[in-house]
Copies of this chain bind each other. A is one copy, B any other.
Amino acid sequence: MTSKVASMRDAVAELVRDGDTVAIEGFTHLISFAAGHEIIRQRRRDLTLARMTPDLVYDQMVAGGVARKLVFSWLGNPGVGGLNAIRRVTEGPDASLELEEYSHFGMVARYTAGAMNLPFFPLRSYFETDLPRANPLIRPIESPYGDGKVYAVPPLRPDVTVIHAQRADAAGNTQVWGLLGCQKEAAFAADRVIVVVEELVDEAVIRADPNRTIVPGIIVDAVVVEPFGAHPSYVQGAYDRDNRFYRDWDPISRDPELTTRWLDEWVHGVSGRAEYLAKLGAERAASLRPAAPAPSGSVDYGAYR
């Protein structure tokens, strides 16, 4: 087994190219801010950024100048308000960021079609709405059983998908618990996959609980070990969402100058996640730990010899 363990710098340098469609997925949980920041730091350009909920990570990437286009289903700072850097380039006559817009299920269905090598995926959304007019890629399709029509969305096949996970082995066999979002589908749909983990584990840990595996190493190109790499989002069992960060981003992102200064300080001004975390402080990190453990318990697969 060849190890795919790489630094974030090398993984992004090798696997993310100008003009790529990049999906950093994770629905509120396990968002790889570490990868987003490295892409900004390496000054990638003309990316199409796909994500159900662009969240702060894409607001920062758009502010960092890496994006040409956004493919999404919900645009906001959850629980706080709007994404101000993105609003600046999407409102009014000078809007410069291209948008391609779906609903949540539409985005999930697009990744699923990509993961399954299907030319489309059917769903019951979009009827009697303005979404198919806003996005002509949402198209009606007749049931071949004469019982009416549904809508179809096209496959989404990112050049690169980045996911964050609790653990993987060196071959990229990856396990996640808690919210699963659409990471599995986004990874299988992609041409290249970067997995960022809290913890690198021995293959035996993975093999002890194969039902927990969401992505096999066979589709993974790089494994990056980056504890706290999902901050300010969270990792089930490891740390909580840093709500203060989400609130603080609102006034920063409202002001273009403050935004640039923030990126200079927290992204360009650090060499990587380790320095970012040192800057954030051990106390802040510690304050995000869960109040107590909540163990799943163990099940028995049985040895059959």
Contact = CB atoms under 8 A, between A and B. Distances in A.
A93 interface: no
Interface residues of A, number: 49
Given A140-B144, A143-B120, A297 B298 contact: yes
A206 to B, nearest CB: 10
Interface stretch (A78-86, A233-241, A260-268): A233-241
Nearest to A214: B211
A295 B303 CA distance: 9
Interface string A112-130: 0000011111111000000
A178 B303 CA distance: 12
Interface stretch (A1-9, A35-43, A286-294): A286-294
Interface string A271-304: 0000000000000000000111111111111111
B294 A208 contact: yes
- Quickly give the copy total for this chain: 2
Contacts of A122: 118-122
Contacts of A296: 208-209, 211-212, 298-301
A293 B303 contact: yes
Interface in A176-215: 177-178, 180, 205, 208-209, 211-212
A181 B266 CA distance: 47
A61 B302 CA distance: 30
A303 B299 contact: no
Interface in A26-45: none
B304 A300 contact: no
A204 to B, nearest CB: 10
A139 B150 contact: no
Given A139-B144, A144-B120, A302 B298 contact: no
A178 B145 CA distance: 36
A178 B144 contact: no
A119 B139 contact: no
B148 A144 contact: no
A296 B150 CA distance: 42
A119 B140 contact: no
A123 B211 CA distance: 25
A54 interface: no
Contacts of A145: 119-120, 137, 139, 152, 154
Contacts of A295: 208, 298-301
Nearest to A207: B294
A305 interface: yes
A302 B205 contact: no
A111 B137 CA distance: 27
A99 interface: no
Interface of A: 117-124, 137, 139-141, 143-145, 147-148, 150, 152, 154, 166, 177-178, 180, 205, 208-209, 211-212, 236-238, 240, 290-305
Q: Which 6 A-B pairs have the closest CB atoms?
A: A290-B302, A119-B143, A209-B296, A237-B300, A139-B144, A237-B302
